[in-house]
């Protein structure tokens, strides 16, 4: 069955996970993704891909590099830059994850390549974007979260903020917005016939994600922002937070709508706690003493049954409840299995391996896992032959360590 992006060809020049995850989502939907990496130096770089049998399992479970080809190319040499420019003539999209200015030094910036291929969509994922006073600064997920005001909203009231996994700025931010920007540009190209630059900043996207919550809305409208540990999502209100269960595991309650919290109170035979349902002002205000008392009462009740027992009881009572899993438990969950978010695949060397499935389900053009992550440079010769390079020329490039 054809994929949604069959026929779209993408060049990937990234060194970190968010860029690879961005192009993997496109590859899963049928795009042909060519990952360009430096030639081997004795270290595992880029995809971490080694053709050695003892590395087969690592390669087979490399989630973000599946459905891709790999070509090695030394872009520090003019001959390598010439190869990239030849490739760009026939590709639809280029995704790069360097700091601004690096691709210009490597002969692969947007201005250079768009002259060669005016239909090229060029997506640059960078910390602070292609302009502005911070554009050349190095940073990582936690730095973007702090600058976006997100970090100071995570964790208890006292002490330092909690450090979340790097899935906010890196993956929900850069990766997802990169995919969205590329799809916008592809759609626009259908009308105009022209490519364009897609400038994605990790900081910008993190601010955008925060702005989707009432936190920024309330700040812009009333000048009010919740302090860390306060507000609906601070964990102090009875209707939203963690509770320990009899088996020393945990559940989460997320009943922000008053009627859902009333369902919880009815299921626990505690109608006297219904006055603790969410009220106007809770988004920015601290939890009061009544909520602290209600949390204590709820905690005592939750200690009388196991995590699974409470999950079964409360889901039947139309209550927003979740079991706090560790990673192995996630992939044993019946809903996760039913949605095929863990898929078992047969690898020719490693045997049966498991990868995470495809999150976006399309009814007519579903995504697919067609190939495992490539070993470093696995497709170099085939790709170069495909753009007209002779075996003699390829051998010369190898001799010069260009590929």
Catalytic residues: 140, 170
Residue 287 Cα to chain centre, angstroms: 32
Give which of 25, 23, 27 is closest to 6, Cα–Cα.
27
Angle between helices 17-28 and 176-192 (to 10 degrees): 50
DSSP assignments along 289-347, one per residue: HHHHHHHHHHHHHHTTS-HHHHHHHHHHTT--EEE---HHHHTTSHHHHHTT-EEEEEE
For the sheet with 240-244, list strands across it: 240-244, 250-254, 321-323
The stretches of 231-270 forming alpha helices (DSSP H) are 258-267
Spatial distance between the Cα atoms of 228 and 154, rounded to a whole number of angstroms = 6
Of 124, 101, 121, the C-alpha closest to 31 is 121
In this structure, the strands spanning 121-126 and 93-96 are parallel
Measure the CA–CA gap between 169 and 178, rounded to whole angstroms. Answer: 12
Evaluate the CA torsion angle 268, 271, 275, 280 in order and state its sign: positive
Question: 64-99 burial, b if ≥16 CB within 10 A, otherwise e?
Answer: bbbbbbbbbbbbebeebbebbbebbeebbbbbbbbb
CA distance 55 to 41: 17
Say if residues 117 and 9 touch (Cβ distance below 8 Å).
no
Residues 237, 291: contact at Cβ < 8 Å?
yes
């Amino acid at each position: 069955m054809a994929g949604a992006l069959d026929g779209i060809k993408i060049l990937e020049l990234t060194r970190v996970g968010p860029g690879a995850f961005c192009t993997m989502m496109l590859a899963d939907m049928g795009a042909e993704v060519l990952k360009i990496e430096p030639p081997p130096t004795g270290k595992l770089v880029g995809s971490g891909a080694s053709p050695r049998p003892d590395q087969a399992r690592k390669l087979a479970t490399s989630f973000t590099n599946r459905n891709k080809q790999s070509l090695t190319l030394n872009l520090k040499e003019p001959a390598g830059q010439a190869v990239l420019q030849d490739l760009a003539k026939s590709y639809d999209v280029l995704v790069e994850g360097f700091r601004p200015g690096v691709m210009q030094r490597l002969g692969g910036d947007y201005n250079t390549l768009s002259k060669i291929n005016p239909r090229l969509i060029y997506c640059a994922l960078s910390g602070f974007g292609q302009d502005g006073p911070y554009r050349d600064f190095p940073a990582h997920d936690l730095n973007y979260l702090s600058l976006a005001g997100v970090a100071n909203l995570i964790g208890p009231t006292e002490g330092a903020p909690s450090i979340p996994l790097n899935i906010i700025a890196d993956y929900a931010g850069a990766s997802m917005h990169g995919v969205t920007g590329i799809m916008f540009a592809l759609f626009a190209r259908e009308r105009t016939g022209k490519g364009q630059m897609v400038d994605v900043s990790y900081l910008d996207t993190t601010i955008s994600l925060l702005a989707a919550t009432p936190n920024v809305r309330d700040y812009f409208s009333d000048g009010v922002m919740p302090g860390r540990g306060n507000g609906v999502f601070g964990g102090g209100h009875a209707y939203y937070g963690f509770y320990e269960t009899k088996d020393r595991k945990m559940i989460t309650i997320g009943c922000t709508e008053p009627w859902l919290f009333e369902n919880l109170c009815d299921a626990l035979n505690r109608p006297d706690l219904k006055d603790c349902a969410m009220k106007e002002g809770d988004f920015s205000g601290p939890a009061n003493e009544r909520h602290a008392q209600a949390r204590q009462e709820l905690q005592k009740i939750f200690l009388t049954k196991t995590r699974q027992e409470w999950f079964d009881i409360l889901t039947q009572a139309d209550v927003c409840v979740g079991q706090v899993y560790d990673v192995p438990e996630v992939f044993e969950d019946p809903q996760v299995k039913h949605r095929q978010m863990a898929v078992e695949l047969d690898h020719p060397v490693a045997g049966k391996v498991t990868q995470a499935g495809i999150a976006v389900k399309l009814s007519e053009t579903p995504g697919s896992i067609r190939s495992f992550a490539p070993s470093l440079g696995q497709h170099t010769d085939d790709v170069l032959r495909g753009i007209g390079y002779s075996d003699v020329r390829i051998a010369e490039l190898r001799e010069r360590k260009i590929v």
